Amino acid sequence: MDYLQYRKPIFNVISDRVLNNPDKIAVELNGQTLTYRKLEELSDRLASYIIAHYPQSQGGRVAVYLQADVMLPVVLLGIMKSGCAYVPLSYFHPPERIKSIINDSAAFLMISTQELIKEKHLGKYNIQHLDITNRQIFNSDYSVKFPELNGNELAYILYTSGSTGIPKGVAIEHACLNYYVHWFNQELWEKTRPVLPLTSSLSFAAAVAQLYAPLLRGDTLHMLPDQILHQPDMLCRWFAQVPGAALYCVPTVWDEILRYYQSAGDQGSLALPKTLYLSGEPVPAELKARTFAQSPGMRVFNLYGPTETTANGSYAELKALAPVTIGQAIAGSEIMILDEDGQPVADGETGEICIIGPGVARGYWHRKDLTRQRFFEAGHFRGHRTGDLGQIVDGQLICLGRKDHQIKIGGVRIEPGETEAVLLNYPGVTQAVVKTTGGPGGQTQLVAYLVQPETQATVRELRNFLRAYLPDVMIPAHFIYISQLPKLPNGKLDSKRLPAPCPLRPQLGYDCEVAQNDLERELIDIWEEVLQFSGLGSKDNFFDLGGSSLQAMKIRQLIRLRLYCNIDYGLFAEHPTPRELATIVPYYSCDDEDEPAEDGQGESRDHPALSAGAGSSERGALLSSQQRYFITLDQISAEPATYQIPFKMSVKGEADIDGLIDSLQQVLRANPVLRSRFDLDEELCFEGAYRVEEIAVRRHSASMVPGPLSGLSDHDLLALLPPCQMDLEETPLIQIDLISDECSDHVFVIRVHHAVFDHDSIALFYQQFIRQYRRILAGDASTLPAESVTYADYSHWQQMHQPGDEAQEKAFWRHTLQDYVRHGADASGFQVYGDQEGPYTEQVLTSAVTAHIHQAARAQQTSPFVLMLTAFNRLLEQETPYRQVPVGIPVSTRMQYEPSSLTGCFVNLITYFDPADATEPLMTRLTKNKRRIYALMDHLSLPYDAVIQESRQAEIESQVRVPVGFNFLSAMPAAENVGECQFTVKAMNADYVRFDLALTVNDGKEMSLTLHYRPGLFSRQQIDVLLDKYQMMLVRL
């Protein structure tokens, strides 16, 4: 291939096609077309306009921000004809990156549309704008002379991520572009002569061949809509309409498309491409095998090369029975494998891959030092050090990963890809990535990220599987399950957004002891999974690690599921370390009748995920006991808003408002329970009955706010907003309001009906929202994946699972309630009120007082919940008339179900009574209460309305009703910085009361205490005194 004949600019070659066939369609998108004659005419006029209006900027840079549009090639060719170079900008670039690219490239003009300029706030950048929809640009004649170019001038600058966080511009000359596109057409395209559509963003090197190759041949450039690679249904339908088409994408994207096609029910209207070009990241052998198994006749090409080589420097055609390689250098180029001294290595030895040829870029724009490091002169051509390690085996080039990502652990060189390959052989694991992280004492450890849509394997199962294939040094210390791998806009893995492993073991005042046997190791794994720490030891105390009552419930559930052992709360509290539990677990194994029950199909009812989808039906799902309870309360309440849960998400900083709203919509889409409609006559719930678009975000200006947004109390903020009217059968059960000021303060106020939501769901909602917004800022167009199990599945599981326990549960609660009465419980003297509006008072404890409470709980081998409930009962005895009344405690039951990360309502109310004895020391009372409370927590499955029914049958309903409430709420997620913004979330207090007096404790680094009260029974002054005395009681513990 004589590259010298391809030095002239590419637009001159395309202009020649006009002479051959001027009326042929040059560009097509969604039925819109441009002929070659029109393409030439419009691009000439744009070039003339630029030269006439910006005479001092010849050879300058022009930024381009356009969506998929037939005018895109007009703009690019027009810019290059004017002697300027274009600089692509894309929808996935966050504002700061756009600003950085504009400043670094010193672009004098941005070409876009008026709609995009307004929608994307492009007008705020210090640059002139040209609206391409302004037809005056193309209707005027300018007498100008186009510059003569020799091929050494810049064609475009493509910005890629820099290791310092600052994007670096790769400067591509006309000769590089012409050489590469001619090579693609003459050598690669000729093998199958496919129709290759433009699916990539202009900001990626992959777009070069897709955009210019058909125009250079005189064929039609088929453009597909933006983000089509993330809409496999639309893409596969297009392939069905265009037989013999090709696709150019990264392996990660192809994997998603292939999986979609394989899972699609109706493949008659779908098709896969006949030719596949993969580039950008390694091709897994497993993906290659699945590809050929699905389409044996597909031609698959593996293209290798960074943006610094225009697009590619080598390629290989992959075969079903041959190993994956990146082949040989493209015609006209050369590949060398060099050692650290820059000398060639022998075949089979490892070195850095260097590409030499006419496609190598000029260097990095305004980065001379970096250009000298990565580029070098090699005769008539330039060379580029890729930073990738490789070797040549049997004449084929093999890429071994990044040079700067070599891993050594204990002096042993580790190849993460080998561990990934073994993990992909584990049943159900669809994707695996292995990275490094810091371990104890600064040691390097491996962490594996796994996508396993169905039942997730335990850590022990994974380790045992890996030990059969790998040495211990290659087995990850951490295994993290994620719903999908985070991706960059080009489909490559975005390593920066992989979640960090759990925090390391805190300082506990005693040494970390390793497990002595497999049982201890299994229990430590359970400890780490539930308590979210890594590196725990066999003597690490559950309470020393800050374990809560709900976490104790989860640990006991996992012990039952994995070790077939029933450990009650009391036994667990007395043996709160893995080593102590390991001594008693063998003696409490489930007998046959206690083992997890199975249904008629042999599926475990203790493992609901195994029957995912069982509760989903177009006819609606049966109500869960929680839904029945809160629907009943809603219907009989004079103030239905009492059963709405309000919370707020605050965003401080320059945010992408459209991105925030889109993130909210993705959360709604991924959680159909939030879009439920109820049929009260049939007692059915229809999840996803409302479309996301039917749940509008009501926007308000902060001008309605008297003062800064952040200074508003919950009461004042809710009072500013329109009332929230929800009808279980007629309206969505979630309402979203957004209040924004003109600068950088935004607050989302979200109100959700309790029948589809609970307090723990706030954190789940917020975390999904944050995760999706990070995706948007990173340019990842993938949607938030829905849980494989829905709340309807939980309702179905509850119907199947709980009847077997009902008799036992009823007997327990009947005996417990009668025992309360025998010990003096009597609430019959207190009037029964309906729900009503009522005030509240909130106090925030200092971090020191909060730490003291947690420390006191650990010292007593209990949780803050149990300690603060005991103290609250003492407060009732000493300071209120409610000395001998039961207390209602809302308790989360989500730990009984797997997955416990499901959005929905998982709350039951339990009745607790602590006989008054003013002479008994508080700590003595606490010791007695631990077992009593733990026993109650073991009996959460019977719905509260059934407990009430038991009290009626025993004729003690008035004595054991609950005029007082105590609610211990889990901590909200900590503030997070995303992009240029800080995000926080807070559960809000509303002016409604369900009890005469109710204490709500919000856990966190600084606990908050909130007392709701009926205004006719207490004064604000009395409530302030109660809170002060309660806090003093806690401090004295």
Q: Which CATH number do you get for residue 86? A: 3.40.50.980
pLDDT digits (tens, 9 = 90+) for 633-675: 888 887 878 899 999 999 998 888 888 999 999 999 999 999 9
| Residue 258: inside a domain | no
Instruction: Taking residues 341-354, report their average pLDDT.
Output: 92
| Nearest-angstrom CA–CA distance, 184 and 1 | 12
Write out the two tokens for 16. 């020649």
CA atoms within 13 A on the CB side of 303: 29
pLDDT of residue 118: 87
Measured CA distances, 1011 to 995, 1014, 1028 (Å): 11, 10, 11
pLDDT of residue 308: 96
In the predicted model, is pLDDT for residue 353 greater than 80?
Answer: yes
Name which residue leads in pLDDT, 513 or 468.
Answer: 513
DSSP state for residue 99 in the 8-state scheme:
H
Among 116-130, 219-233, 697-711, the range scoring the smallest mean pLDDT is 697-711
Q: Are residues 909 and 978 in the same domain?
A: yes
Helix (H/G/I), strand (E/B), else coil: 284: coil
Residues 6+ apart with CB under 8 A from 649: 747, 748, 750, 766, 769, 983, 984, 985
| Residue 329: inside a domain | no
Please say which residue of 758, 789, 820 terminates a domain: 789
pLDDT digits (tens, 9 = 90+) for 472-506: 778 888 888 888 888 877 777 888 888 888 788 88
| Residue 372: other Cβ atoms inside 10 A | 11
Instruction: Taking residues 582-590, report their average pLDDT.
Output: 79
| Residue 467: inside a domain | yes
- H or E element at residue 1029: helix 1020-1035
pLDDT digits (tens, 9 = 90+) for 934-963: 888 888 889 999 999 999 999 999 999 999
Residues 6+ apart with CB under 8 A from 156: 76, 80, 85, 86, 87, 88, 172, 177
Q: Are residues 579 and 668 in the same domain?
A: no
CA atoms within 13 A on the CB side of 749: 26
pLDDT of residue 651: 95
pLDDT of residue 337: 96
Q: What is the pTM of this model?
A: 0.71
Please say which residue of 145, 173, 201 terminates a domain: 173
Buried b (16+ CB within 10 A) or exposed e, 670-700: bbbbbbbbbeeeeebbbbbebebeebeeeeb
Confidence band for 406, pLDDT divided at 50, 70 and 90: low
CB 1001 within 8 A of CB 1008: yes
- Beta strand 109-112 with 61-65 is parallel
CB 298 within 8 A of CB 291: yes
Domain count, the chain: 5
Owning domain of residue 922: 797-1035
Measured CA distances, 711 to 965, 973, 1003, 1004 (Å): 29, 21, 22, 21
Tell which residue, 673, 575, 555, 685, has the closest CA to residue 622.
685
Q: Are residues 56 and 141 in the same domain?
A: yes
pLDDT digits (tens, 9 = 90+) for 914-930: 987 878 888 888 888 88
32 pairs with which residues across the strands? 29
- Mean residue pLDDT of the chain comes to 88
Bond from prior residue into 416 cis (ω within 30 degrees of 0): no
In the predicted model, is pLDDT for residue 440 greater than 70?
Answer: no
DSSP state for residue 766 in the 8-state scheme:
H
Query: How are the residues of the chain apportioned to helix, strand and coil, as percentages rounded to the nearest 5?
Result: 40, 20, 40
Q: Are residues 691 and 712 in the same domain?
A: yes
Among 393-397, 577-581, 797-801, the range scoring the smallest mean pLDDT is 797-801
| Nearest-angstrom CA–CA distance, 694 and 714 | 27
Strands (E), 513-652: 621-622, 644-652
Among 237-251, 403-417, 425-439, the range scoring the smallest mean pLDDT is 403-417
CA atoms within 13 A on the CB side of 644: 24
Q: Are residues 464 and 575 in the same domain?
A: no
Q: Are residues 1020 and 889 in the same domain?
A: yes
Percent of the residues in the chain that have a pLDDT greater than 70, as a whole number: 93
Name which residue leads in pLDDT, 227 or 438.
Answer: 227
288 φ/ψ angles, rounded to the nearest 5 degrees:
-60, -45
Here the contacts of 10-17 (C-beta below 8 Å, separation 24 or greater) are 10/80, 10/155, 10/174, 10/177, 10/178, 10/181, 10/212, 10/216, 11/43, 11/77, 11/80, 11/81, 13/178, 13/216, 14/39, 14/40, 14/77, 14/212, 14/215, 14/216, 15/40, 17/215, 17/216, 17/218
Percent of the residues in the chain that have a pLDDT greater than 90, as a whole number: 56
Tell which residue, 228, 267, 219, has the closest CA to residue 247.
228
| Residue 359: inside a domain | no
pLDDT of residue 281: 85
Q: Are residues 808 and 766 in the same domain?
A: no
Instruction: Note the helical H segments in 595-733.
Output: 625-636, 657-670, 714-720
| Residue 259: inside a domain | no
Q: Are residues 686 and 716 in the same domain?
A: yes
Instruction: Taking residues 97-108, report their average pLDDT.
Output: 91
| Residue 923: other Cβ atoms inside 10 A | 13
| Nearest-angstrom CA–CA distance, 909 and 932 | 16
Confidence band for 593, pLDDT divided at 50, 70 and 90: very low
Q: Which CATH number do you get for residue 567? A: 1.10.1200.10
Among 505-509, 585-589, 810-814, 825-829, the range scoring the smallest mean pLDDT is 585-589
Q: Are residues 628 and 543 in the same domain?
A: no
Instruction: Note the helical H segments in 296-340.
Output: none
| Nearest-angstrom CA–CA distance, 501 and 480 | 7
CB 1009 within 8 A of CB 830: no
Q: Are residues 730 and 625 in the same domain?
A: yes
pLDDT of residue 164: 45
Q: Are residues 580 and 670 in the same domain?
A: no
Name which residue leads in pLDDT, 909 or 546.
Answer: 909
Residues 6+ apart with CB under 8 A from 154: 59, 61, 85, 171, 172, 173, 174, 362
Give the neighbor-by-neighbor strand order of the sheet with 128-131: 128-131, 109-112, 61-65, 85-89, 154-160, 168-173, 363-364
Q: Which CATH number do you get for residue 836? A: 3.30.559.30
Confidence band for 393, pLDDT divided at 50, 70 and 90: very high
| Residue 989: inside a domain | yes
Instruction: Taking residues 392-398, report their average pLDDT.
Output: 94
In the predicted model, is pLDDT for residue 590 greater than 70?
Answer: no
Please say which residue of 789, 806, 824 terminates a domain: 789
Instruction: Taking residues 29-47, report their average pLDDT.
Output: 96
First-to-last CA distance in the chain?
A: 85
pLDDT digits (tens, 9 = 90+) for 717-774: 998 898 888 999 999 999 999 998 866 889 999 999 999 999 999 999 999 999 899 8
Chain centroid, CA 923 distance in Å: 44
1009 pairs with which residues across the strands? 843, 1001
Q: Are residues 762 and 630 in the same domain?
A: yes
- H or E element at residue 253: helix 251-263
In the predicted model, is pLDDT for residue 998 greater than 70?
Answer: yes
pLDDT of residue 607: 44
pLDDT digits (tens, 9 = 90+) for 168-213: 899 999 999 999 999 999 999 999 999 999 999 999 999 999 999 9
CB 759 within 8 A of CB 550: no
| Residue 913: inside a domain | yes
Measured CA distances, 880 to 308, 837, 868, 995, 1000 (Å): 76, 21, 17, 14, 17
| Residue 234: inside a domain | no
Q: Which CATH number do you get for residue 715? A: 3.30.559.10
